[in-house]
Amino acid sequence: MIHKHPVEEFLDKAQTLPIIDVRSPGEYQHAHIPGAVSIPLFDNDERALVGTKYKNAGKDSAVLLGLSLVGPKLANFVKQSKKLNPQGKEVLVHCWRGGMRSSSFAWLLDTAGLTASTLAGGYKAYRNTVLSAFTEPRKLLILGGKTGSGKTDILKELARQGEQIIDLEGLANHKGSTYGAIGQAAQPATEQFENLVHQQLRQLDRTKRIWLEDESRSIGSCFIPMPLWHQMRAAPVAFIDVTKSCRVERLVHEYAGIDHQLLVDATERIQKRLGGKITKDALDALTRNDYATVADLTLDYYDKAYLHGLSQRDAALVHPIEIREDNPAETAKQLIAWADNYAAKGVLR
Predicted confidence (pLDDT) per residue in 52-106, tens digit: 877 787 776 777 777 777 777 898 899 999 999 988 889 999 999 998 899 999 9
Smallest Cα–Cα separation from 298: which of 259, 270, 336, 338?
270
Residues catalogued as catalytic? 95
Contact status, residue 161 vs residue 336, Cβ threshold 8 Å = yes
Residue 139 banded pLDDT, cuts 50, 70, 90 = very high
160, burial (CB in 10 Å: exposed 0-12, middle 13-18, buried 19+): exposed
pLDDT digits 0-9 by tens, 264-310: 888 888 888 888 898 899 899 889 989 899 899 999 888 888 888 88
This prediction has a pTM of 0.91
Smallest Cα–Cα separation from 211: which of 174, 168, 241?
168
How far apart are the C-alpha atoms of 206 and 7, rounded to whole Å?
19
The phi and psi torsions of 58 (rounded to 5 degrees) equal 100, 175
How far apart are the C-alpha atoms of 47 and 54, rounded to whole Å?
11
How far apart are the C-alpha atoms of 238 and 317, rounded to whole Å?
9
Q: Which helix (H) or strand (E) holds 319?
A: strand 318-322
Over residues 151-179, mean pLDDT:
94
CA distances to 55, 260, 301, 324 from 283, rounded to whole Å, are 57, 10, 15, 31
Range from 64-78, 165-179, 240-254 carrying the lowest mean pLDDT: 64-78
pLDDT digits 0-9 by tens, 111-138: 999 999 999 999 999 999 999 999 999 9
DSSP string of 216-241, one letter each residue: -SEETTEE--HHHHHHHHTS-EEEEE
How far apart are the C-alpha atoms of 268 and 325, rounded to whole Å?
32
Contact status, residue 141 vs residue 339, Cβ threshold 8 Å = yes
Over residues 324-338, mean pLDDT:
93
Residue 191 banded pLDDT, cuts 50, 70, 90 = very high
Contact status, residue 205 vs residue 164, Cβ threshold 8 Å = yes
